[in-house]
Structure 1
Amino acid sequence: MIAGAGEDMENLNEAEIGQLLESLKISLPLVQRLFPLDVMFALADMEKFIYYLPGTELDIRIQEGTPVPPSGGIRMALETGEMVSANIPKEIYGWPFKSSSLPIRDRNGTVAGVFTIGISLSNQETLSSAANSLAVTSEEISSTSGEIADTASDLANTVSDLKLLGQKVVEDLQQTDEILDFIRKVADNSNLLGLNAAIEAAHAAEHGRGFGIVAQEIRKMSVSSASSAKDIAGILQMIKKNIDQMDATLMDCLAQSERQAAATEEITASMQQLAASAAQIEKIARMI
């Protein structure tokens, strides 16, 4: 900035130095207000600081006239003639900041001083911390969502197995219809046989009394068998009805578990995208 103005800091007289400092005092506060971050400025010749403008919070308390430290970025810029940048941790001055020191050359190309800007990294640290927390949280949610998706998938498989089992029970119950039909036929035939035996016993009069008792018991047994078969049929019909209801419920559970699995997969994908975004935020934070 000074070299561009054609000034030779080695040959500046006291009046010119005063004019230079007055110009800095006017221009740098305006430049400072244009920065979205907290910044400070310093100007040094080969030996000492000749101007310092602290930031709003960023202030390393440099006094004008203070000697340039024998080591560090400013001294390196003076010695190498190259711009030197470094991130200064919070532990040194109480505030984290990025320091960039640009050598200033006179009209002969000789390094005559250095202009330094310090940019606060407090926002960067906050952003970086938030990005790390976001990445960790999204990773945990992604992991949990993955477990939920696996559980939902297992539940869907279990529900499907239960549905198949219910269908097998219905098939087995249908086979009992044949058994009930056989029992009904035996009951009907036994009842008819008992009726015929009772008629024959009546014809035999006194000699058929014992045979009549047997015929009577056979008819009772047939009636009881028919009644039992009817009761069993009613029970089996109720079981079939309950199984049908269970099948409908299982189908609903299966649909819900499939929707849950799909939803958790979408959540997992979103969390992975969020984690990628957090990584980009972290990358941007390091670029500030």
Structure 2
Amino acid sequence: METKGIHHKLEYLINMAAVIKDAIPVESMIAVTDTEKYLLYIPGEELNLGDIVGMPIPEGDAISLSLKTKKTEMVTVPREVYGIPFKAKASLIKDENGEIIGAFGFGVSLDHQDKLSNMAQQFASTTEQISASTEELSASAQDLAQFMESLMTAQQDMNEQVKKTENILGFINSIASSSRILGLNAGIEAARSGEHGRGFSVVAKEITKLADSSAKSVDEIRELLVQLKEKVDYIAETVSKTAEIAQQQSASTEEISSAINHLATSAEDIEELASII
């Protein structure tokens, strides 16, 4: 381009601008200005402000702000302005006497940063939901573990009741045996008494019959108790395994919850990193 009448420092930057832009690995644009207008503008593939060479420097631009404050300035332009978000930075160019003769500005696309920030926010939101669900699952697992412990206690109580019932049956069986012996003795005495002991003989038979019936009932009840004890033992084994699984589940969900919290922290770090790229 024609550079006649332009200060040699500005001319040097104009000649080197394309090389500088190629060295920037992200979507970017470069501009060189004097104190009033654009002398050079190299747009990016997407980051393109149009044909602005020769146009006055607009207010609010990083370069105009830098010329006004007389120091390096950086501004962030949101997506709504040009359709793509970018960060622009301007540095002042001074002559040998320290007088400001222009500025060098470059803009870097924040489109990737914008997407990264949105992804980080979505990721953080998702991890929060997962974390809440995991905490609920952990609480449920703890409740289940406590419930299993209560069932184990109830099972132990059932075993104790079965043992007590066994003792009672043993006592009843003892009474039945004694009654049988009593009936037998009464039958013998009734036979000795002849006709006078006939009524007593009937009583003796009834006593013997009652003793036999009681003994039979005791055997049946004992058999039922044996079956009940087997089922109680099976339930106890199942409850014990379930309680162990519940405890493992509770521990696992706590570990998952801790991992999710770390992920949420990482999402915050990603979002923070995205804001400074």
Does TM-score exceed 0.5, indicating one fold? yes
- Paired with 2:45 and 2:224, the residues of 1 have a C-alpha distance of 86
* 1:6-21 alignment, distance < 5 Å: 14=4
Runs of at least 5 residues in structure 1 that lack an aligned partner in the other structure: 1-11
Return the TM-score normalized by structure 2: 0.92
Q: Could you give the per-residue CA deviations for residues 57-81 of structure 1, whole angstroms, max 9, x where no partner exists?
A: 1111142111111443221212222
Q: Which residue of 1 aligns with 2:168?
A: 179
**In structure 2, what is the Cα distance between the partners aligned to 1:115 and 1:20?**
9
Superposed CA RMSD: 2.2
Alignment-derived partner of residue 115 in structure 2 = 126
Letter of the 1:144 partner, please give it: S
1:75 aligns with 2:64: yes
Amino acid at match of 2:274: A
C-alpha distance in structure 2 between counterparts of 1:140 and 1:272, whole Å:
11
Match of 1:90 among 79, 101, 107: 79
SS in 2 for 1:69: coil
How far is the alpha carbon of 1:209 from its aligned partner? 2.5
- Aligned letter for 1:255? E
Kindly state the Cα deviation for residue 21 of structure 1 after the two structures are TM-superposed. 5.8
* 1:241 matched residue in structure 2: 230
Moved over 4 A (4+): 15-23
Q: Secondary structure at the match of 1:14?
A: coil
Q: Report the CA distance shift for 1:13/1:210 in structure 2 as closer, same or farther (over 3 A).
A: closer
Deviation at 1:105, TM superposition (A): 1.0
Q: Equivalent residue of 1:56, what SS? A: coil
SS in 1 for 2:199: helix
Check if 1:259 corresponds to 2:227.
no
Query: Do residues 135 (structure 1) and 128 (structure 2) align?
Result: no
Instruction: Determine if contact 1:21/1:51 at 8 Å carries over to the other structure.
Output: no
> Which of 202, 213, 218 does residue 202 from structure 2 map onto?
213
Question: 19, 29, 32: which one pairs with 2:21?
Answer: 32
How far, CA to CA, are the matches of 1:270 and 1:201 in structure 2?
Answer: 88
Deviation, structure 1 residue 204: 2.9
> Cα 1:38–1:127, aligned 2, differ >3 Å: closer, same or farther?
same
Q: CA separation of 1:76/1:15 partners in 2, compared to 1, >3 Å: closer, same or farther? A: closer
Q: Where does residue 160 of structure 1 map in the other structure? A: 149
Q: CA deviation at 1:124?
A: 0.4
Tell me what 1:99 maps to. 88
Task: Give, in angstroms, the shift of residue 13 of structure 1.
Answer: 6.8
TM-score (normalizing by structure 1): 0.89
The count of aligned residue pairs is 276
Between the aligned partners of 1:80 and 1:33, the Cα distance in structure 2 is 29
* AA at the equivalent of 1:14: K
Structure 2 distance, partners of 1:153, 1:182, is 44
Partner of 1:8: none
Which residue identity is paired with 2:14? L
Contact between 2:32 and 2:40, CA under 8 Å: does it hold in 1? yes
The one-letter code sitting in structure 2 at the alignment partner of 1:34 is: A
> 1:70 and 1:219, CA in 2 relative to 1: closer, same or farther beyond 3 A?
closer
Deviation at 1:120, TM superposition (A): 0.3
- The match for 2:42 is 53
Distance in 1 of aligned mates of 2:53 and 2:252: 64
Percentage of identical aligned residues: 37
**Structure 1, 13-22 or 261-270: larger mean CA deviation:** 13-22
Distance 2:238 2:149 in 1: 11
Question: Quick check: 1:272 aligned with 2:258?
Answer: no
Query: SS state of the match for residue 95, structure 1?
Result: coil
